[in-house]
Amino acid sequence: MIYRLGELFCGPGGIAWGALNADIGNPEFRIVHQWANDYDASTCETYRHNICSDAPQTVYHEDIRKFDMSKLADIDALAFGFPCNDYSVVGEQKGMDGVYGPLYSYGVAALKRFKPMWFLAENVGGLRNANEGKAFTKILNELRESGYTITPHLYKFEEYGIPQARHRIIIVGIRDDIDVTYHVPSPEPYSGMDNSCRHAIEVPPIPDDAPNNELTKMSKQVVERLGYIKPGQNAFTAELPEHLRLNIKGAQISQIYKRLDPEKPSYTVTGSGGGGTHIYHWSEPRALTNRERARLQTFPDTYVFQGSKESVRKQIGMAVPCKGAQIIFEAILKSFAGIEYPYVEANINE
């Protein structure tokens, strides 16, 4: 079975790369691109360039709230990483009351319209707590009522060999009339992998001509400040001289001017970059390049991001790690192919 994938809120293509590269050793079970949608122009260009350069017209740059889904081709599978701004722990956690909170409903509408055989939905771990947990319950109920048996799980991608501590809720749904059961793939097969950020960034070395690898200019003060911050420390845990301390009242965010610990996975790659929220190299007094950030997200060096440097930073930060998505899609394909694989129980009780 070849599954035609439609994708809403597609981002730069982390989910799509994982889907198209999912391989279970049986070419009869694979996923192909059908169409995608995102509201950001540069993000759509990145997706077109890397995922479907032979069919650029299948990526629709439109606001989902004004998007006419009736013009879309039929699909067998749907993916939607609906915007997380209102559910993020870093954000204000407005949940359903925010601008982005209700956008999941367009994924529900697509399920009802196209009735795909299965779907994958993704959001941040903070989704469980938004609106005192009511938002998550509402979303799960609506997905279930659309005709799907769902398996929500908080995936900790560093447990799957990804060089980044990135925790995301991913909901896999299989249509009720299909006699297939999805299980959460076990992280055990990946336990021996070197997923340190040093290994991810340095092995193999990034080619000199790699795209999106330009350095960010650092002010003299930032360079001096980083000189006092040891690997794994941030601006609040390091011993800084008075003139380099941050005069910030309220929350002391642990990622401000935080240097990577080279022997551990990176902390979460985000789309932000101002005010000391770049990810900082463990030994060189600088922020990571976008290509280094992309490696932490397991994008191949051949993946070319389109747009300004700031846009590329945001695109990389919003993406699902390519190889993390691939692991989940391979588990879905194995479920449909009747191939057993090691699994764990879902860690979210519905």
Would you call 84 a catalytic residue per the annotation? yes
CB atoms within 10 A of CB 271: 17
Whether 250 shows a pLDDT value over 80: the answer reads no
Please, which residues have CB within 8 angstroms of residue 338's CB and are 6 or more apart in sequence? none
| SS3 call for 197 | helix
Any domain includes 310: no
Can you tell me the distance from the alpha carbon of 169 to that of 78, in angstroms, rounded to the nearest whole number?
A: 16
One-letter amino acid identity for 79? A
Residue 259 in any domain: the answer is no
pLDDT band at 253 (very low <50, low <70, confident <90, very high): low
Average pLDDT estimate for 313-339: 97
Q: Do 101 and 130 form a contact (C-beta atoms < 8 A)? A: yes
pLDDT of 260 higher than 60: yes
Would you state the structure tokens that stand for residue 33, as one six-digit string?
Answer: 């691109």
**Assigned domain for 35 exists:** yes
In a domain, 68, yes or no: yes
Q: In the prediction, which pLDDT does 248 show?
A: 73
User: Taking residues 181-192, what's their average pLDDT?
Assistant: 97
More confident residue, 349 or 76: 76
Of 44, 52, 84, 322, the active-site residue reads 84
The string of DSSP codes covering 143-175 is HHHTTEEEEEEEEEGGGGT-SB--EEEEEEEEE
Dihedral class, residue 152 (left if φ above 0, else alpha if ψ from -120 to 50, else beta):
beta
Q: Containing H/E element for 226?
A: helix 220-228
Q: What is the edge-to-edge ordering of all strands in the sheet holding 167-175?
A: 59-61, 30-38, 2-8, 77-80, 118-124, 167-175, 148-156
Note the pLDDT of residue 84: 52
Q: What is the CATH number of the domain that holds 54?
A: 3.40.50.150
**pLDDT, tens digit (0-9, with 9 covering 90-100), for 124-176:** 777 777 667 777 888 899 999 999 999 999 999 999 999 999 999 999 999 99
Whether 227 is in a domain gets the answer no
Q: What angle do CA 34, 39, 44 make, to 5 degrees?
A: 55
CA angle, residues 332, 336, 338, in degrees to nearest 5: 115
- Asked if residue 94 is part of any domain, the answer here is yes
Look up the domain containing 66 and give its range.
2-191+320-344
Short-list 37, 285, 329, CA closest to 170 = 329
Structure tokens at 337: 């192919």
Count structural domains, the chain.
1
3-class SS at 200?
Answer: helix
Residue 39 lies in a domain: yes
Please report whether residue 67 resides in a domain: yes
**Confidence (pLDDT) at 60:** 98
